[in-house]
Structure 1
Amino acid sequence: MLIVDASSIIYAWDNYPIRQFPGLWCWMAEQFTDRHLVMPRVAYDEVDNKAPECAAWLKDANIELFAITNVIVREAFKIKNLLGISSDSYHSKGVGENDIFIIATASVNNVGLVSDEGRQQRLPDISAKRKIPAVCAMDEVAVPCMNFIEFIKRSDVVFG
């Protein structure tokens, strides 16, 4: 099982239109149905706000939405503290609250995360400016993170 972030599903939706890549989207639907891919409710809500047609497709694909539980909230609080974020003082160039919940969901479930947030070649001086992949790579978090293309390549599926 992998957690999928809104950024990856929106990236796929925008760059691989279902009309031109039906095989990819049939396979994606299977991944959701078989629970190889799941999405936290907060990520789904982001998709619904930014790409409502994609959100409707996700519903039709029977995506399982993970609720934010107390265990996930505790993990998110730990990550937030690691980043030096106090109260709701998120840095505009770093992760937001939903991002932290998404990472915490992957961490609590001991699974990887598919995210198309930008990779930071050089870590920012301020930890709160880290994006999802950099937060996942922190030793204290240790969540495997890949983007959508890496996910597809790793699957070894050939779309005809």
Structure 2
Amino acid sequence: QIFQRRTKQCIFSAIAREGWSEAFGANTDHFDKFCEGGWCSVIKYLLDSNIFIQAKNMHYPFESFPGFWSWLRQNMEIGVAASIEPVFDEIMRGNDELADWTKERKDCGCFLSVSDTATQQVYRDIAAWAVDPARIFKDNAKSEFLRVADSWLVAKAVSEKLTVVTLEKYQVDCKKRILIPNVCRAFGVECIDTVELIRRTGVKFDIAPQE
């Protein structure tokens, strides 16, 4: 299970920060029983880079929506959601507040490696699918898709049976880009957006009164 690659220290930090210590205690036995119950044993959602980038730039800027980023941090640190190392690398190139926020999640195992055998095999299958002459995609669309994190994101989701979270939308007969939802559909992977992820985690955001 993916969760086994995460560090207990990261989860303990999340529990302490959110005030859950009384519920779970501060010992390994409590923690192990908690995880064996299935609450945080398996990651369910795999996040595309645009979930982070567009949230910061458009929908949920840090200064106006701190609750969104707390919610995202919690779900990544306790093992509900994650992303992949190629997405981490894309975000780091921004060298901004989002890069700083993302870097803090790195040691918690929130960005998964794609070097495992299963993911590598699926990636080869996806690459073969994308460059198949029978496909309608233009050559630059094929090269772009295989160059960026998108192809690895779907490969990881397929190999680990995860749901992809992206802001891209499925488009029939799209030639200029290979869209993540199109690839997900071809490989039997569920694909949702940020709003649906918010609904599924059951969080509700309130507006804090201005001082």
TM-score w.r.t. the length of structure 1 is 0.83
CA distance in 1, matches of 2:101, 2:77: 13
Partner amino acid, structure 1, of 2:131: G
Alignment map for 1:78-97 (pairs within 5 Å):
78-84=125-131, 91-92=140-141, 95-97=145-147
Q: Name the residue aligned to 2:209.
A: none
Higher relative contact order (CA 8 A, sep 6+): 1
Partner amino acid, structure 2, of 1:42: P
* Identical-pair percentage: 23
1:91-148 Cα shifts (integer Å, max 9, x gaps): 337633321111001111111011122x243233x6x84310111011xx11111122
- Structure 1 unpaired stretches of 5+: none
Q: Name the residue aligned to 1:155.
A: 201
Q: Name the residue aligned to 1:133.
A: 181
Q: Name the residue aligned to 1:64.
A: 110
TM superposition shift of 1:90: 5.4
Q: Name the residue aligned to 2:83.
A: 39
Partner amino acid, structure 2, of 1:83: A
CA distance in 1, matches of 2:78, 2:172: 37
CA distance in 2, matches of 1:56, 1:18: 12
Partner amino acid, structure 1, of 2:53: I
If you compute each CA radius of gyration, which structure gives the higher value, 1 or 2? Answer: 2
Partner amino acid, structure 1, of 2:140: H
Cα contact 2:67–2:205 (8 A) shared by 1: yes
Partner amino acid, structure 1, of 2:192: M
Cα contact 1:90–1:96 (8 A) shared by 2: no
Cα contact 1:10–1:51 (8 A) shared by 2: no
Secondary structure of the structure 2 residue equivalent to 1:83: helix
CA distance in 1, matches of 2:95, 2:170: 25
- Structure 2 unpaired stretches of 5+: 1-43, 207-211
Cα contact 1:12–1:148 (8 A) shared by 2: no
Alignment map for 1:92-131 (pairs within 5 Å):
92=141, 95-97=145-147, 98-117=149-168, 119-124=169-174, 129-131=177-179
RMSD: 2.4
Partner amino acid, structure 1, of 2:78: D
Q: Name the residue aligned to 1:8.
A: 51
